[in-house]
Amino acid sequence: MKGLIQVYTGNGKGKSTAAFGLALRASGRGLKTIIIQFMKQGNTYGEHFAIAKIENIEIVSFGKPKFVNFKNPSKEDIELVNEAFEFSKKTINSGKYDIVILDEINIALNFKLLEIEKVIDLLKNRPENLEVVLTGRLAPQELIDLADLVSEIVEIKHPYQKGIGAREGIEY
Which tens digit of pLDDT belongs to each residue from 37-69?
A: 998 777 778 888 999 999 999 999 998 777 777
Instruction: State residue 39's pLDDT score.
Output: 83
Ramachandran angles phi, psi of 37, nearest 5° = -95, 115
For the domain made up of 5-162, the CATH class stated in words is alpha beta
Please state whether 120 falls in left (phi above 0), alpha (psi between -120 and 50) or beta: alpha
User: Hey, CA dihedral for 157, 153, 56, 166, is it positive or negative?
Assistant: negative
Interatomic CA distance for residues 52 and 64, integer angstroms: 21
Q: What whole-number percentage of the chain has pLDDT above 90?
A: 74
User: Stretch 21-50: mean pLDDT, rounded?
Assistant: 90
| 8 Å CB contact between 17 and 11 | no
Q: Which pTM value belongs to this model? A: 0.94
